[in-house]
Amino acid sequence: MKQTRKELDEQREARTELALEKRGLQEGVEKLTSALERAHLEAKRRESRFRRLSDATHTNTAVDVDSESLITSLEHRALQEFLHFIRHHLKCGEEQSMRKLLVYTKDDIVKREEELKLVKSELRDLEIQVKAHREKLASLSLMKDEKVTLAGAIPNSELTIKKLQIEQNNFRQWISKLADQLKLENVESEREYPLLMDAIAVRMKSLVSNESEKITTQRSRLAQLQQQNRELRERNDALEVQLTLLRRRLADLEGGEAEARKHLASAAATDREHKRLTKQLKRTRTEVYTLQAENARLKNEAISDSQSALAAVGTNALLHAAESRAKELQVQCKQLENEAQSLRRDKLQMETASNLTVRNMQQQITSLEGELDSVRRSEAQLLEFRSVVARLLNLKCDYLCVPDFEIVHRLEQVVLALDSPGIQELHKSTPLE
């Protein structure tokens, strides 16, 4: 506003100076035109005088050469008047002769011609000056037109000044709000605005760098989670291999008790592995939930930063770059969310697959437990039958102290004894009695 007022004052002063110069030039032109007219009149007078003198000299020379020629009284009077005029003009006495008068007239003519040349050169200079003054007058007329146009443009300029003042006030309010949001000190004078703009730029750069650091940390965390997911998949594959091996073992263990015990041991190991995997899945779930919360927080921060960056678009190109960077961060956050969702799906698939495998293992364990119970029952029955046989053979059967081969040997002896002829005769005689 102050600069525009100064410019308007300078324009007014320039207009007044131009008006004064125009008046002076007009006066100078009028003086030059009057002097030029006087010079033209004086030149015409001198030319007429010189012509008269030249005519008079020609007539005098002709009289001297042709002395025998006769002149009339009228011509004599005219010649006398001409001589009187020359004497009066040259201020010579009447006693001087005609030749001296002619010499004086020739000298006077030469002087007059030189004066005429000087006057012509002065006239040329005056014409050049007149042209320059006319050009100045044309420029003054142009300046008048410009003055009129500027006078017409003054209200428009005042309106533009008011609009600029309103925009300046809005800009200051917006800058103060932006400084409050960025937690910067308020500006009290106009001299501190460049420092404030530099501080805003530095603050936006720091925010962008912080966002980039957060994105790098998220990427590293995502890489770690992917690595953990790969490890879990590898473990799942190993567990599937173990399950296949356990199935084979179960098929092999159907033939005997030792194989059943081994299968039970492997089933217990698989149960422990299942518990360990469930714990690890719980840990991965908690990590995924924490990552989701962190992604949501980063998304909110990115949205707030993008809003602040969108507010700073009109101030500087750096703010526009920050806005584009915030949009890129939003896209990257969405990508991270999509990757987290894919990880959740993979985790759910793994959980379902692991649950199915656990259920199958539990079913197999229950079937194996049933088979083991049947084996134990058969073993108990065999032990009872063995104890009964040992009692019948009068053997001590406490705590399996009698080996099996001894019982078998006794049974063989009993069978041989029963097959003897004496005992067979006794059997034959008993029904006869």
Residue 40: which CATH number? 1.10.287
Packed helices 317-392 and 193-253: angle between N→C axes, nearest 10 degrees? 20
pLDDT tens for each residue of 305-326: 555 555 544 455 555 555 566 5
Considering the domain boundaries, does residue 421 fall inside one? no
Q: For residue 304, which amino acid is it?
A: S
Q: Are residues 216 and 343 in the same domain?
A: yes
Considering the domain boundaries, does residue 283 fall inside one? yes
Considering the domain boundaries, does residue 180 fall inside one? no
Q: Are residues 353 and 219 in the same domain?
A: yes
Q: Are residues 199 and 121 in the same domain?
A: no
User: Of 291, 334, 329, 293, whose CA–CA distance to 215 is shortest?
Assistant: 329
pLDDT tens for each residue of 100-110: 656 666 676 67
How many helices and strands (H and E) does the chain possess?
A: 8, 0
Q: Are residues 218 and 328 in the same domain?
A: yes
Considering the domain boundaries, does residue 82 fall inside one? yes
Residue 63: per-residue pLDDT: 44
Residue 198's domain comprises: 192-381
Residue 78: per-residue pLDDT: 60
Q: Are residues 105 and 27 in the same domain?
A: yes
Residue 62: per-residue pLDDT: 44
Residue 265 tokens, joined: 């041991």
Burial of 323 (0-12, 13-18, 19+ CB in 10 A): buried
Residue 350: per-residue pLDDT: 74
CA distances in angstroms from 55 to 49, 102, 105, 115, listed in the order given: 10, 12, 11, 20
Q: Are residues 93 and 211 in the same domain?
A: no
Q: Are residues 123 and 235 in the same domain?
A: no
Neighbours of 178 (CB within 10 A): 19
Task: Name residues of the chain where pLDDT drops below 50.
Answer: 61-70, 93-95, 257, 259-260, 312-314, 431-433
Considering the domain boundaries, does residue 423 fall inside one? no
Considering the domain boundaries, does residue 417 fall inside one? no
Contact 225, 215 (CB under 8 A): no
Residue 127 tokens, joined: 């014409």
Considering the domain boundaries, does residue 187 fall inside one? no
Q: Are residues 127 and 224 in the same domain?
A: no
Residue 244: per-residue pLDDT: 73
Domain boundary, last residue among 121, 138, 172: 172
Residue 313: per-residue pLDDT: 46
Q: Are residues 138 and 213 in the same domain?
A: no
Considering the domain boundaries, does residue 35 fall inside one? yes
Q: Are residues 308 and 343 in the same domain?
A: yes
Domain boundary, last residue among 337, 362, 381: 381
CATH at 271: 1.20.58
Report the distance separating Cα 396 and Cα 387, nearest Å. Answer: 9
Report the distance separating Cα 113 and Cα 93, nearest Å. Answer: 24
Question: Could you report how far apart the first and last alpha carbons of the chain are, in Å?
Answer: 154
Q: Are residues 133 and 260 in the same domain?
A: no
Residue 230 tokens, joined: 């790969």
Contact 79, 71 (CB under 8 A): yes
pLDDT tens for each residue of 111-166: 767 877 787 787 788 788 878 878 888 888 888 888 888 888 888 888 888 888 88
Contact 63, 78 (CB under 8 A): no
Domains identified in the chain, total number: 2
Residue 411 tokens, joined: 């049974």
Q: Are residues 156 and 204 in the same domain?
A: no
Residue 66: per-residue pLDDT: 44
Residue 339 tokens, joined: 């990757």
Q: Is 96 helix (H, G, I), strand (E, B) or coil?
A: coil
